[in-house]
Structure formats: structure tokens, C-alpha cells
Structure 1
Amino acid sequence: MTRFDFNIHATDGAARTGVIRMQRGDIRTPAFMPVGTAATVKAMRPAEVRASGAEIILGNTYHLMLRPTAERIARLGGLHKFMGWERPILTDSGGFQVMSLGALSKLTEDGVTFASHLDGSKHLITPERSMEIQRLLGSDIVMAFDECTPYPATRVQAESSMLRSMRWAQRSRDGFDSGIDHASRSALFGIQQGSTFEDLRAVSAAKLIDIGFDGYAIGGLAVGEGQAAMFSVLDYAPGQLPADRPRYLMGVGKPDDIVGAVERGIDMFDCVLPTRSGRTGQAFTHAGPINLRNARFAEDEAPLDATCACPVCKTNSRAYIHHLIKSSEILGAMLMTEHNVWFYQQLMAGLRAAIAAGELTKFANDFRAQYGAR
């Protein structure tokens, strides 16, 4: 069985489409990974997530280590069995969450000590512990433990943070390799840092390549810098990483962010936006996002998106979903989330087809023109 293999089938400019092959199934790229923070893609059953076209989901190391704990999940057969998802799972390292705790966390060369947001209990995550947690979960794609550089950062701050992440990357590599049973069937991704400084990102990429990873993530973006600054980094950062390995842009994003990032050579994405928006009344459509809480939808008999092929748009009106949301009915969040996840997966399918046909520029321009038309 193939542990990890990435084949590029077609390119269009900097964009690529291909397939990642792993023991639990193939992942067509560019791919969007719905976020299953606490062993669930919120408001959706695994079969519904799979029906949308999703081939891989993301699990959250920080939340799962606290509740129900990685050790308990391991005793119960691993994360796939625990949540009923048989296909690949990527787990983040926990670094972003513990860094975001701010005053509740303390960073040292060893790792990060933090207080649980659940009960205040103290925990330490090191690169080695992060690898252990992800091994206990049974992750298919493991992320190296890194320091997520805040934005804005001075050059001195960005360099210091990046270099620490590179030291942690080596420790993550060593810790991952020590779990022989896990390393024989899973993949490890390194994370490039360097904020918005091109030369620092070049140093980071070189150090990661020297260590050697199955894939490479671009970290430290989607942290408040705005789309223009993000795209400016993506104009060069993907090209600093190996062309024959997947490139993963962490925590992105909005549909137009994804289209622009694919044009710049990104292969993998994750974001809580489609599920979080679904729970708060926002639906993504080809004409842009709409807020179903708005009174103008109270008697609107149209589907959420007339061009969408999802089950929600086939059978439910905007008026009905508006009613559910205004009534605080759970079904409203479920239907909205299902539609949004389908919307993202249909977008990825369209991007893959456009790259394969050599028509990405037209697809992207048409999408942007329609998406911003409201």
C-alpha cells in the first residue's frame, strides 16, 4: 500500500492539479479540507461530508488533547474509528491554538506551556509531544510543531520566530520518525514561516527542504494581513518550496482567497469559514455571500444558490431556511452548513477541471466577476 505519493496531472501557469495517494484513499488537488475541530465537522454527519466531495478532513490537536484526550481516542481505536470517518485525516500541530491563548501561554525553547480554556489545567506541548498526540490520534498527515508568527511582526521578531520554528521542525521530524508504526503509514508536513519577508521565507524553505518532508505548508498567513499582502507573499513563497510536493496554505479561507491562491500554486486548504458561517446564517453563493437572517428572504422561494447541486438547494427555499434560523431551529444550521461545504467542494472541482483544460484564467476571472456582482 502507498504510504504517500503526489502526482501532478496538469498545470496551468503556476496552478497544478493532481492526486495525493495514501492508504486511506486518494485526495484530488487542489483540495479543501473541512475542519473537524473536536472529532466532528460541526452540524454534519461523516456521510454528508463525504457526499459533498470532501476526501480529507482536518482534526484539531489542541482541542482533542484536552477533550476527550488523545490517549482515550487511542484506546477507542483511533480518530477515524472514533468519529466514523474512514478517509484521510490531517491534524494540525496545536501550535496556532496555544499561541493564540496569549496571556494563558508561555513560550520557551522547549515548547509552549498553557492553561486549558476548559478548566485552567496546565499543559506543555513540545514538538515531541505534538508528534505523540498526532500518533495517538492516528493522523494520516501530521503537521510539524511550529510557532505561528503574529502579524504585524518586525523583521527581528519574524526571524527569531522562524528560526525557532525550524529548530522545532527538526525535532518534529525526529519525533515523528521515532514512532515507526505511525511513520510507516502516515506523512509529515513542514511549515514555512517568515511573515511577509521574502528572504526569511527563503531561509525557512531551505531549512525545511534540508530536513525533508512529504509536503510543505505555508504558515503565518491569514492572520490579519489582508488579501493583498497575502497574495504578495504567495507570489513567491510557493516557488521556494519543492515543485513535486504538495503545498498547503493553512487556515484559508474565503472563496476568492482560494481562487487566487490556486492561481499562485497552492494545492491544499482548510478553514472553519464554511461551517462557522453556516451556523451564523451566512450562505456562500456564486453571487457572493448572503445573510439568511435578513428579512428580505422571508418570502423568497428561490434556493440558496440556483446553480448549486447540493441536496439543500434541491429541496429547500431561502424562505424556509430564513424561518429556521429566525426560530433558532437546529435544522437551519445543519442545512446552511451542508450547503456551504458543498459550495466549497464544487468550487474545488471547478478549479481542478479548469486547470486540466488549461482554462483557469477564464474560470477565475468569471468567478470573481460573478462573486462580487451583488
Structure 2
Amino acid sequence: MQSPLAGVRVVDLSELLPGPYATQLLGDLGATVIKVERPGGDNARAILPGLFAAVNRGKDSIVIDLKTEDGVRRLHGLVAEADVLVEGFRPGVARRLRVDYPTLAAINPRLIYVSLTGYGQAGAMADQPGHDLNYLAASGVLGLYPTPEPGRPYGIGLPVGDLAGSMFAVVSVLAALMQRQTSGQGQYLDVAITDALKHWMTPRLGMLLADGPGQLGQRPGYGLFTCADGGVLVLGAIEDHFWRRLVAVLGLEALAGPDLATYRQRQARHEAIRAQLEAAFRREPLAVWLARLQAHDVPANGVTAPEAMLDAPDDRVLGRSGGSLIARFPVAMPALPPDRRASPALGADDARYRPEPAGHKTSPAGLVAVEAGA
């Protein structure tokens, strides 16, 4: 059995995180990913080298200056044999460089072209610069969290916006590949990170419409609690059966009555319940509470430090190889490629995708593919 995307060729013009993470996922599924870098390389190489290494594993790197005629010609040659192209330029830049969808679709009508940007190709904010935090703010996600104390950074740790955009790009590419099997045609995909975040906001917005803004963050039995030793307990006792087990373990008979039997009843008294749970958890250290709650099948755990993720033995997703991070595709499927090589050196694969010398018969892409080691 072949890997799911065996034979699919992806040209990646993107930098930093959203585009490269999306193309790495496609590579994890078996696609060949050609990372086209400008002279000097992806900005992440210098700014965030650890991030670059984490999201560019197994790709081929070539250097093309798209501000030159030769560079544009070379990119057009790559596109002639490509299945997917991913770019993250600001709106209008690809057109000025002559690597926009209409231009490239004329070369290869089967091409699936992805523009992955912060605010999309049209609208009042389309030309605005931004990063993950800006998109979280624009889509309402940051509004779900309390305002930070003065001087403290405002964020939620994980680049949720960038990753949401990446995932919708991948889902859209897979759907477009399926459509192409019957239509024979490629298509243009305008993926906006803020749109992806707005879609991820729908569960919270549904709650907002039903319950009003005052109830949006009111989830009794759910949250972080400080224990006697300063350890942080993470609790998820939302359902009624978990709630009954929780209050039994804590010995809080006052919270076990029929007036608090349902989630909606508890939600109306969220603040008072929270205060009693906080006081109870401060009586014992974290390890004691974890042992008791887990023994009674209550959803509870501690907080894992990020550095501990690097040292977990036999992890199904994360590993290390030669000092580099390996992130395996998190869903087991037949014939997925094995752990791939480290992220490429800048221009490491230029020779494999060089233009054919004058006088040689030209391939459809106008390129010569040189086997590794040749």
C-alpha cells in the first residue's frame, strides 16, 4: 500500500509557521514538498531556528529569487509538474511577482493554489500585517480570557491562530485533490487565519447566543485549582455523574443536594461553587488529590511542563533524533512515511531541481531531476 499522498508534489513558498506547518502535514502523509526560499532563506531560520527545524522536516530546499526573470521562469517550471502550491504573501504580492493563481493556472490547470494569510484576500483588513496574537484578537478568541495584570504578556501560549489556519489549509487541499479526481481541474483556495479562528469560535458563540455573555465562562467543576503544596490541579467534572463523584471525594455534602444536581443549576451558582472547591483543594497537596480523584474516575490531572514532553519515553507522537525534534503524524494510518530527515540546509536540493542545460530535451517542467547521490 502506498502512503496517502504518494506522488503528490507540493511547492511551498511560505515562511515562518502557518504555511510550513501545513506543508509538513502534507509531507507527513507522503507528499513531496519542495520548499522554495528567497535568497537568505525563510525568516524563521534566523529568528526562530527551533521552530524552523520543527516544521520543515523532510522537505527539499531550493533558492529562487522571484524578483528576477530567471527566478520566475524557474518557478513556472516547477509549477508545471506540481499538484499544490502554498504561499503566504500579502494580497497583491503574488500578482506583482507573476506567481499568482491566474498566471500559474495557465501553465498547469490542475494546480491547487493556496493563499494562506491573516485576513484573506479581500476586505477592510486584507492588507494589514499581523501575527498569531493579532488574529486571536481580531477573531474574538482573546476576549474569552481575562485581561492580564499590567506588565504581563497577553496570550494563550500556543499559536492557535496559525495552527488553525494550517489545519483548514490542509483540509481544503485534501478536499480539492478529491474534487480534481472527477473534474480534472485545480482551484484557488483563499485561507484566512481569522476565518479559521472564527469557525473554531462557533461552540463558544453558540453558548453566547443561548446563555448570554454573563454565562460564557461559567463552567462549575471545570478549571485550574491550587493545592496545599502549590501544585495546580486541572479538573473537568462537567457532567452530572462526574460532579457527584467529585463532591463525594471532597466531602462537600452541601454541593450534593438536588438543587445542584444538574449542570444548568450549578452554572447559576458558579461563583459560590468555585469558592468552595478552591477552599477544599487547598487542604491537601496535589498528589493526594490526584490519587483520590483518579481512583474515583473523576477527570483530573496535573500540568505537564513543556520540557517534560521532550523526555517522555515511548511517546506515540513526539521523539528525538540526533538532537532534533520529531513530531509524527498523530493518527496511525497504513503506509505513512517513516520519520523523515531533519529540516534542510538552505538550498540543499538546488541541484535536484535545476533547469536543464541548453541543448537538452526539455521535460514538461523544464527541469532535470537528479537522483540523490548522482
More helix by share: 1
Q: Who wins on radius of gyration, i.e. which is larger?
A: 2
Would you call these one fold, judging by a TM-score over 0.5? no
TM-score by length of 1: 0.27
More strand by share: 1
Q: TM-score, normalised by structure 2?
A: 0.27
Higher relative contact order (CA 8 A, sep 6+): 2
